[in-house]
Amino acid sequence: MGEIHTELKRVEEEELGHKQAKVDIWKYVFGFVEMAVVKSAIELGIADTIETHGNFPMTLSELSSTLGCSASHLYRIMRFLIHRGIFKETKTSQLGSPAYSQTPLSHMLMRSGEHSMAALLLLESSTPMLAPWDGLSARILGTASSAFEAANSDDLWSYTMANPAHSQLLNEAMGSIARVNVAAIVDKCGDLFEGIETVVDVGGGNGTALGLLVKAYPWIRGINFDLPHVVCVAEKIDCVENVGGDMFDFIPKADVAFIMSVLHDWGDDECIRILKKCREAISEDKGKVIIIEAVIEKDNKKEDKLSNVRLMLDMIMMAHTNTGKERTLNEWEYVLNEAGFSRFSVRPIDALPSVIEAFP
């Protein structure tokens, strides 16, 4: 009887699996639709427009009139976004006409604001960043050294340098990530910069991260270090000096080298070279390198709500860079040891990356 029960259970589970597969397959067939619709919502300025309306829901006619678009098309867009919890809908006294209001998620789609992620979505949905995905299988088969280069005739960094508009969007996108990450760092790692006087942000982009750090830790002086074409348009911030250069050649001296969302762009050999330059830059007594990067968990029991996003980010590295990748704890240990660090620690935070502290 036990064997029959086990077999019946197996058949039942298999049938349920087939039924679920018939549902799940559609999210892969039409997976691109969500990004495309959300991109259109950002470009139309839907969240920004509702925000300016004040504390009252905005009717479909008011929203379509303000945006200057078709009410019928806008209604269908909003129906899609509401179904995904991006906006809220209420009925008005105007014969059941819908009205719309913001949610925490829609606030993140505004073009500006503390929690805005609009620039990152616009970057990842831009033509240069989408095109490499069409060549991902060729990249895996080894018939193309770089999917991005095959699609855009240049690697990501050369393309960015030659296209100011893309460079600006990239810096704005990295700035949006910086705001999320630094807020989590300050919340979870308040002691991170105790006793530290100077910090060099390696690959600091437009200075967003360092500006937030010197505000949270007002005793530190910052050096925002990136390629010359990047820092020449960086924001001027009190207590922060913008310095141009190449991290593979030198890194300005400081007590701490802070490096966020940079090392995952590179393979192990390049990563080790950058880390060695970071080690040379920090002071002997209280120096350390603070790395803000994802750590891929090998043990499924340790997975959190962002584990799947970290795996997606690894696919992005494969599509957009020549050698970049997200790393497991063992892989971080390897590059840090090869770069000459004596020890390191990892602190999870409520964000995509962790805080990795490496000591000489």
CB-based burial of residue 139 (10 Å sphere; 0-12 exposed, 13-18 middle, 19+ buried)?
Answer: buried
Helix, strand, coil content of the chain in percent (nearest 5): 55, 15, 30
34 in active site:
no
326 in active site:
yes
CA distance 268 to 324: 8
CA distance 71 to 75: 6
Q: Are 292 and 260 in contact (CB under 8 A)?
A: yes
Q: Give me the catalytic one of 326, 333, 338, 357.
A: 326
Q: Give me the catalytic one of 166, 172, 293, 320.
A: 293
CA distance 84 to 39: 14
Instruction: Give the number of C-alpha atoms closer than 13 A to the C-alpha of residue 294, restricted to the C-beta side.
Output: 23
């497991």: which residue's tokens?
Answer: 328
First to last CA, the chain: 65
Residue 240 identity: V
CB-based burial of residue 57 (10 Å sphere; 0-12 exposed, 13-18 middle, 19+ buried)?
Answer: buried
264 in active site:
yes
Q: Give me the catalytic one of 149, 166, 172, 264.
A: 264
CA distance 251 to 245: 8
Q: Are 184 and 355 in contact (CB under 8 A)?
A: no
CB-based burial of residue 194 (10 Å sphere; 0-12 exposed, 13-18 middle, 19+ buried)?
Answer: exposed
CA distance 304 to 286: 33
User: What residues are labeled active site?
Assistant: 264, 293, 326
